[in-house]
A and B are shown apart, each in its own frame.
Chain A
Amino acid sequence: MPAVFDGHTVPMPKVVSIHSYRGGTGKSNFTANLATTLAMQGHRVGVVDTDVPSPGIHNIFSLEPERAPVTLNSYLWGEAAIEEAAYDVGGAAGIAEAGRLFLVPSSVKADDIARVLKDGYDVKLLNDGFRKLVKALELDYLFIDTHPGLSKETFLSIAISHVLILILRPDKQDYQGTAVTIDIARQLNVRKMLLAINKAYSSLNFDVLKQKVEETYGTPVAGVFPLSEEVVQLASEGVFCTKFPDHLVSQEFSKVAAHITAEG
């Protein structure tokens, strides 16, 4: 179990990939909150936005593109070291102490996105970059925010993760896509897989829902999050779990975090 102290005696960093088969599951918001929850507990946490075709998580951390000229794209094109593309976003996320939470954003410039789509990039570089970042920033946890659907990058992030979190909404399309992803993740020998249900109607019985999903996939559900107008309004700016630490949703993130920090 990684240490939480300032003495910083960390045995082994953990890689956590957050994925969903379809878009709109609230993946980036989930990633930002979970990463922040761990950073609040005193861990050193990095987040890489590998959603190169449609980056977004930088908004939640209020990192304006003008303030982040060096991005993951710069690294992939050999223009910068990956740690040069890492920005301390702890302040924006509501963490007083510096050096706890870093974000490597993807470029939002149309030309940059087009270049990646046109030329692609070597997934080996991405893998090497993750490792360099973990070393350079002495991270305890590295979060990989992925592009929805299945791609080479998804496969890579699944294959290298210590923990894979699949986010799904309680609807048929997500159920089916999640089954496909779970099947692939198992074939890639994923070490630990967790499900998170997001945007569940408040009218549903969460315990029953959780149990049903766990039975269907044979995979633990680490948290169930409600579809709530209140949360959407409150979460429109900044990271929810630091602004409303006592809210039920924030407590649910703490539960998911406990799954991640648990041994094995």
Chain B
Amino acid sequence: MSKGDFSALASSIQAVASPFRQYLNDLHERYQGALDGAVADYIPELALADPNWFGICVVTSGGQVFEVGDCDKLFTIQSISKAFVYGLALEDHGRDYVNSKVSVEPTGEAFNAIVLDEATNRPYNPMVNAGAIATADLIKGDSATERLKRMLAMFRRYTGRDLDVNVPVFLSEKATGFRNRAIAYLMLNFGMVTDRVDETLDLYFQQCSIMVNAKDLAMMAATLANGGINPVTGERALDEHYVQDVISVMLTCGMYDYSGEWVYRVGLPAKSGVGGGITALAPGKLGIGTFSPPLDAKGNSYRGIKVCEDLSRDFGLHLFNVAKASHDLDDWLTGSGADSW
């Protein structure tokens, strides 16, 4: 057994034995029965989700993985993809050009609002559908296939595994996406997107139909928290210069029209999706991935919000927190100071 093998085994055992895992177990138990909200049903594939599915995964920026509940269960990434595709667009074109096409202003409007900035005709931010479609338009590639492959390769760098597009979900999104089609053509009218509108819409519907699990979401968040490098594989997923761009818009716009209250209560950059996922991060510390299909009225996973609220409060993860938290994160991760028995 080499030193590396031992370290890996020791790290995995410490993750199992860590009081932090016990904390997550208790959190999972606390909210397992909290079934408020409703599963998204605008396409039949989403309506099939079992409201009881519930997974919590945390990956530290040091690469420790903590999983409780349904962390391997696959679901569609939906709007969570928007934050990461925005990072790819920044790498493709740089900050100035991307900013000229998509603003970074929170809207307070619903995610699917048909509204552009009146002065510049830019969509308000990359987290609303209009901004996400404009962002997808920016993804480079000679063909539709090439562009999708580049997106999937990017997600693979974040998650450390190959991801697939769920074809029935993609076709359903495409068949029912009239509103998104209208938004895209409105932006074409203003010259904010190129004329390959149908190809870009397909790409957008495909990016939303990528299958992920709670562990993937935690790994993606941990990668951002770790400066763009996947803490387990060591592979870079995003140029470090753009990490702050991505997490800034996650913080201000990531939770739909709940974003203001989210920053106030939780204070973590995050992105949610109607598939039931939330990805959230404490920069330099950890990434959180939650999966629970029932959504609240704002379209965010009800239990996912509860979990993030508790984690943020107990470990003092709020970005602007200066008070001593009831739980010291390092102690709970290593078990050195905390005793959860």
Show the binding face of A for B, using Cβ within 8 Å. 12-15, 123-124, 127-128, 131, 134, 152, 155-156, 159-160, 162, 184, 187-189
Neighbour of B17 across the interface among A14, A159, A184, A187, CB < 8 A = A159
Residues of A contacting B17 with CB < 8 Å?
127, 156, 159-160
Distance, CA A127 to CA B122, complexed state (A): 53
Q: Which of B2-18 contact A (CB under 8 A)?
A: 6, 9-10, 13-14, 16-17
Distance, CA A85 to CA B24, complexed state (A): 26
Q: Does B22 make an interface contact (CB < 8 A)?
A: yes
Q: Does B103 make an interface contact (CB < 8 A)?
A: no
Distance, CA A119 to CA B129, complexed state (A): 47
Distance, CA A162 to CA B17, complexed state (A): 12
Residues of A contacting B336 with CB < 8 Å?
189
B341 touches A155 (CB 8 A): no
Residues of B contacting A189 with CB < 8 Å?
14, 334-336
Show the binding face of B for A, using Cβ within 8 Å. 6, 9-10, 13-14, 16-17, 21-22, 25, 334-336, 339, 341
Distance, CA A13 to CA B336, complexed state (A): 16
Q: Would you list 15 pairs from A and B whose C-beta atoms are within 8 A, ordered by A residue?
A: A13-B341, A123-B13, A123-B16, A131-B22, A131-B341, A134-B341, A155-B13, A156-B16, A159-B17, A159-B335, A162-B341, A188-B10, A188-B14, A189-B335, A189-B336
Distance, CA A14 to CA B13, complexed state (A): 19
Grouping DSSP codes into helix (H, G, I), strand (E, B) and loop, the A interface class, with mixed when no group exceeds half, is: helix
Distance, CA A188 to CA B9, complexed state (A): 10
A124 touches B10 (CB 8 A): no
B16 touches A187 (CB 8 A): no
Distance, CA A188 to CA B17, complexed state (A): 10
Q: Given A131-B22, A155-B9, decide whether A124 and B335 contact each other with a Cβ distance below 8 A.
A: no
| Supplied contacts A12-B339, A187-B6, A188-B13, 17 more A-B pairs, CB within 8 Å | A15-B341, A123-B13, A124-B21, A127-B16, A127-B17, A127-B21, A131-B22, A131-B341, A134-B341, A156-B16, A159-B16, A159-B335, A184-B6, A187-B10, A189-B334, A189-B335, A189-B336
Residues of B contacting A134 with CB < 8 Å?
341
* Residue among A14, A123, A155 with the highest chain B CB neighbour number at 10 A: A155
A218 CB, min distance to chain B CBs, angstroms = 20
Closest chain A residue, CB of each to CB of B68:
A124
Neighbour of B13 across the interface among A15, A128, A131, A152, CB < 8 A = A152
Residues of B contacting A124 with CB < 8 Å?
16, 21
Closest chain B residue, CB of each to CB of A123:
B16
Closest chain B residue, CB of each to CB of A188:
B10
A158 CB, min distance to chain B CBs, angstroms = 8
Distance, CA A160 to CA B22, complexed state (A): 12
Residues of B contacting A184 with CB < 8 Å?
6, 10
